[in-house]
Amino acid sequence: MSDVIHPLLLCGGSGTRLWPLSRKSYPKQFAQLTGEESLFQASARRLAGDGFAAPMIVTGSDFRFTVKEQLVDVGMSPDAIIIEPMGRNTAPAILAGALVLEAENPDALMLVAPSDHVIPDQERFRAVVQAAIPAAIDGQLVTFGIRPDRAETGYGWLEVTTAPSLDFDPVAQPLKAFVEKPDSDTAQAMLDGKTHLWNAGIFLFSTSAIIAAFETYAPNMLAGVRAAVADAQSDIGFTRLAEDPWEKLGSDSIDYAVMEKAKNLSVMPYGGAWSDLGGWDAVWRETGPDAHGVVTNGPSTALDCQNTLLRAEDGKQVLVGIGLEDIIAIAMPDAVLVAHKDRAQDVKKAVAALKEQEAPQAETLPRDYRPWGWFESLGTGTRFQVKRIVVNPGAALSLQSHKHRAEHWIVVEGTAKVTIDDEVKLVEENQSVYIPLGAVHRMENPKDIPMVLIEVQTGSYLGEDDIIRYEDIYARGQGAKG
């Protein structure tokens, strides 16, 4: 067995606890929450270098191009991007990755990690992963336990037989028990007892060991995932799992499906800093509060505040807090969150309430990302909508038509190559073009700089699903995003 580690990054989930910045349309792993890189990019770079193969990614169809683009931006190429037809929790996703990897590299070592964690000391973490290799080669399912520094009730915990050393030397030991998210008294007792660690949801094992575990403890899931992998389709560099067998799978976590039942579990302690950024209180903690416990981000100002997070995401906004204590305030162009810091975990309840009200802000950001670039709505009325559209260099929208709307395009930066039925022409800055209702059209950026235009839509229906695609370089199907 080779000791090369093959990372598998889990890139699903909607991050509702970090609403309104994180939403179903563009969840937290793709956002720049604590630095210049997104959480996903930082996770990929953390699991790269000597001893690591190119990463495999499991994600949803809507984010396949985002994943690829963000990896390219940090100079990385994936080994595979596996597309789930729909979310089925971590157990099927991990198993699919193991089966794909096993077919290419039998008995390979696979490191499973979420793509939205913060681990500042990358070298220390990589060293701990390397120290876990002998246990994984020996057939153990290794889970990583984090040194706890508070009585946290938002995490699951791991009970070990022997307290780690004061320096948290990376020595694996058998896992005694999983502990579900505790109440505050139980969490404090576990913190004081020093034989409990936080459950990071990070694992190292061989593909043969994890597949054998599923065969023993979740054989029905194994059969279904095998079928989804066997009938997977190659889609311009992506591996799209078969929908029918995947849809029939249960939605189980890897802990519930396998780990809580397996007998060959080991825990590798990690003593460095770590956070899953599971709420705005965690973002406040990780961003580095000042002497008054205040964190400001973007155009925000705090006056006489304590233990407060103020974050504004739009340069045209100004967020000011006066005399606040233990408050989180997050301002987005279309939504504002104000909450007591102790209620950070309840933000998901707000998202649920907004979904019941059918508010678009519950799941959709104002900016909509596509493989060719992005757009955002600047204004809407009963029969019109104004958008700003940014097309990346060399990118092109699909050849398409609309049943219910006409469009006016005004180029404000760069050059657009425009197709309208049989006519193709270049539209320069300060020039415009009209797309009649029903016309077959396409917009391309032939230059090496981003192209920006203003689109004015007029018609009886302006929804994004009013698109009929005829050709598309990104091989998307019909519907809003294809």
Which structure tokens are listed for 112? 């499973």
Cis peptide before 20 (omega within 30 of 0): yes
> What integer is the mean pLDDT of 138-160?
94
Q: Please check whether residue 291 lies inside any domain of the structure.
A: yes
**pLDDT score recorded for residue 480:** 67
The pTM score is: 0.90
Q: How many CB atoms within 10 Å of residue 327?
A: 18
- Among residues 251, 270, 289, the one where a domain terminates is 270
Mean pLDDT computed over every residue of the chain: 94
Read off the pLDDT of residues 370-412 as tens digits, 9 standing for 90 and up: 999 999 999 899 999 999 999 999 999 999 999 999 999 999 9
Q: Verify that 75 and 139 share a domain, yes or no.
A: yes
Pick from 453, 381, 382, 383: which is nearest to 417 by CA?
453
Q: Verify that 248 and 289 share a domain, yes or no.
A: no
Q: Please check whether residue 481 lies inside any domain of the structure.
A: no
As a three-state string, the secondary structure of the chain is CCCCEEEEEEECCCCHHHCCCCECCECHHHCCCCCCCCHHHHHHHHCCCCCECCCEEEEEHHHHHHHHHHHHHCCCCCCEEEEECCCCCHHHHHHHHHHHHHHHCCCCEEEEEECCCECCCHHHHHHHHHHCHHHHHCCCEEEEEECCCCCCCCCCEEEECCCCCCCCCCCCEEEEEEECCCCHHHHHHHHHHCCEEEEEEEEEEEHHHHHHHHHHHCHHHHHHHHHHHHCCEEECCEEECCHHHHHCCCCCCHHHHHHCCCCCEEEEEECCCCECCCCHHHHHHHHCCCCCCEEEECCEEEECCECEEEEECCCCCCEEEECCECEEEEECCCCEEEEEHHHHHHHHHHHHHHHHCCCHHHCCCCEEEECCEEEEEEEECCCEEEEEEEECCCCECCEEECCCEEEEEEEEECCEEEEECCEEEEECCCCEEEECCCCCEEEECCCCCCEEEEEEEEECCCCCCCCEEEECCCCCCCCCCC
> What integer is the mean pLDDT of 340-360?
95
Q: Verify that 35 and 74 share a domain, yes or no.
A: yes
Q: Please check whether residue 362 lies inside any domain of the structure.
A: no
* Residue 474: Cβ-neighbour burial (10 angstroms; 0-12, 13-18, 19+): middle
- Per the CB < 8 A criterion, the answer to whether 242 and 234 are in contact is no
Q: Verify that 189 and 314 share a domain, yes or no.
A: no
- Please tell me the total count of domains within the chain: 3
- Per the CB < 8 A criterion, the answer to whether 62 and 29 are in contact is no
Q: Please check whether residue 230 lies inside any domain of the structure.
A: yes
Pick from 26, 62, 99: which is nearest to 245 by CA?
99
Q: Phi/psi zone of residue 139: left (φ > 0), alpha (ψ -120 to 50 degrees), beta?
A: left
Pick from 78, 86, 3, 85: which is nearest to 40 by CA?
78
- Among residues 222, 239, 270, the one where a domain terminates is 270
**pLDDT score recorded for residue 35:** 82
Q: Verify that 146 and 204 share a domain, yes or no.
A: yes
- Whole-Å CA distances, 299 to 321, 413, 453: 12, 26, 26
Q: Verify that 312 and 428 share a domain, yes or no.
A: no
Whether the pLDDT of residue 297 is over 80: the answer is: yes
Cα–Cα distance, 388 to 396 (Å, whole number): 16
> What integer is the mean pLDDT of 348-358?
96
Whether the pLDDT of residue 482 is over 80: the answer is: no
> What integer is the mean pLDDT of 158-170?
93
AA letter at 12: G
Q: Verify that 65 and 209 share a domain, yes or no.
A: yes
Q: Please check whether residue 477 lies inside any domain of the structure.
A: no
Pick from 438, 459, 443: which is nearest to 383 by CA?
459
Cα–Cα distance, 273 to 146 (Å, whole number): 8
| CATH number of the domain enclosing 418 | 2.60.120.10
**pLDDT score recorded for residue 236:** 83
Read off the pLDDT of residues 34-46 as tens digits, 9 standing for 90 and up: 888 999 999 999 9
Q: Verify that 129 and 166 share a domain, yes or no.
A: yes
Q: Verify that 343 and 377 share a domain, yes or no.
A: no
Q: Verify that 398 and 440 share a domain, yes or no.
A: yes
- Whole-Å CA distances, 198 to 89, 193, 253, 262: 20, 13, 17, 19
Q: Verify that 352 and 386 share a domain, yes or no.
A: no
Give the percent of the chain with pLDDT over 70. 99
Band of pLDDT at residue 48, cut at 50, 70 and 90:
very high
* Domain of 285, in residue numbers: 280-356
Q: Please check whether residue 378 lies inside any domain of the structure.
A: yes
| CATH number of the domain enclosing 198 | 3.90.550.10
Read off the pLDDT of residues 190-241 as tens digits, 9 standing for 90 and up: 999 999 999 999 999 999 999 999 999 999 999 999 999 999 998 888 999 9
**pLDDT score recorded for residue 306:** 98
- Among residues 326, 356, 386, the one where a domain terminates is 356
Read off the pLDDT of residues 460-477 as tens digits, 9 standing for 90 and up: 998 888 999 999 999 887
Q: Please check whether residue 482 lies inside any domain of the structure.
A: no
Q: Verify that 174 and 297 share a domain, yes or no.
A: no
Cα–Cα distance, 8 to 110 (Å, whole number): 7
Q: Please check whether residue 478 lies inside any domain of the structure.
A: no
**pLDDT score recorded for residue 97:** 97
Band of pLDDT at residue 76, cut at 50, 70 and 90:
very high
